[in-house]
Amino acid sequence: MKGYSVSHVYRGLMCFTKGTNAQIYNSTTKKLVVLPDIEESNIIAKDHKFNKIIYHIAHDPVHDQYKVVCIVSRLKVVKLLLEHWVFTLGGGVSSRWRKIPCTCPPHSPFTRGLTINGSMYYLALVPNSIKPLFVRFDISSEKLSVLQKPEDAFWCRYYYTEIIEYDGRIAILDHADLVHDGVMDLWVREDEEKNRWSRMKRVLHPSQMNMIKTHIVHNMSLRVQGTTRNGDVILVPQPQVTTHFYVFLYNLQKNHFRKVEIKSNRYNTKRWDVVGFDDIENLMYL
């Protein structure tokens, strides 16, 4: 596993990647599955630095199957190339990658993706446009579609924008002004057909801001790493260069902000990251 990093964790399945190589580890059965190379790809460059590859594990609720979705994008001269591939895990299905037809404009995802109610959602950049795409991939039908975004939303600092689950619904969180001003904007989708979104602004209390300013110093920032079952947004310090492992939990509904320390005496390292979780008592870190 030397040189591999964790790209996604879903229901105890961990996806390890190194360039174009991917492996799936089942933390319950302790088995490791090495995925085959995507040999039929027309855009994967031999030099990995020209590829942007995102692996995402998802569950197909109709056929009760787990699938790995691979999104490959590469900028070639002034043209963006894009491919979507799906690999079905187990179930006697043929062990090969299948290329999914894409009718969406060429794009490059900038969020990690969120799976909810049988669909995977992500935001993506389009060449020569400042307006991102809101993309949905249906896990069962394996079809891609572009959805409408909030009409009043404009995100120019993409690193601070993430799709999260809020009270069982799709939401988009912008936390670009959190560290300095203690402000976050949240758009919650209320009706997909009518493109009706509700917008909320969350402002931290002075005591909560003191907590951030105490721990987030110099060039550090916070990255959203999904939500817990209780609806708390997990915010991970970036970069992680301390032997004290901790994350921040923020409950958007209660406007409650707290720090949670991850205690471990087994390792002495200054490089760590949160890779997945089922709940805050069962958080996984690397």
Output the CA–CA distances (angstroms, integers) from residue 148 to 49, 63, 70, 129, in the order listed.
Answer: 32, 28, 23, 16
Q: Which residue has the tokens 């389009």?
A: 126
In the chain, how many H helices and how many E strands? Answer: 2, 23
Report yes or no: 12 and 28 within 8 Å, Cβ to Cβ. yes
Tell me what pLDDT residue 230 has.
Answer: 82
Report yes or no: 175 and 203 within 8 Å, Cβ to Cβ. no
Tell me what pLDDT residue 102 has.
Answer: 86
Tell me what pLDDT residue 279 has.
Answer: 46
- Partners of residue 26 on adjacent β-strands: 13, 31
214, containing H or E segment: helix 206-215
Tell me what pLDDT residue 284 has.
Answer: 46
181, containing H or E segment: helix 178-181
Question: What is the rounded distance in angstroms from the CA atom of residue 90 to the CA atom of residue 22?
Answer: 16
Torsion, CA 168, CA 173, CA 175, CA 178, rounded to 10? -40
Tell me what pLDDT residue 23 has.
Answer: 94
Q: What one-character DSSP code corresponds to residue 160?
A: G
Q: Which residue has the tokens 């994008």?
A: 73
Tell me what pLDDT residue 238 has.
Answer: 80
Question: What is the rounded distance in angstroms from the CA atom of residue 264 to the CA atom of residue 117?
Answer: 35
Domains and CATH numbers, the chain: 1-147 (2.120.10.80), 157-286 (no CATH)
Spell out the per-residue pLDDT of the chain, length 286, in tens.
Answer: 778 888 888 888 999 998 888 999 998 899 999 999 888 888 887 776 678 889 999 999 999 999 999 999 888 767 888 999 999 997 666 678 999 998 888 888 988 889 988 999 999 988 887 788 899 999 999 999 999 888 777 666 777 889 999 988 999 999 888 888 999 999 999 988 888 999 999 999 998 898 888 888 777 888 888 888 888 999 988 876 665 678 899 999 888 999 888 776 555 666 666 766 544 444 544 4
Rg of the chain over Cα atoms, rounded to whole angstroms, equals 19
Tell me what pLDDT residue 4 has.
Answer: 85
Q: Which of 138-142's residues contact partners 24+ apart within 8 Å by CB, and which partners?
A: 139/58, 139/59, 139/60, 139/61, 139/67, 139/69, 139/115, 140/60, 140/61, 140/62, 140/63, 142/86, 142/98, 142/100
Helix (H, G, I), strand (E, B) or coil at 85: strand
Tell me what pLDDT residue 86 has.
Answer: 95
Q: How far is CA 262 from the centre of its chain?
A: 21
Report yes or no: 162 and 156 within 8 Å, Cβ to Cβ. no
Return the amino acid letter for 259.
K
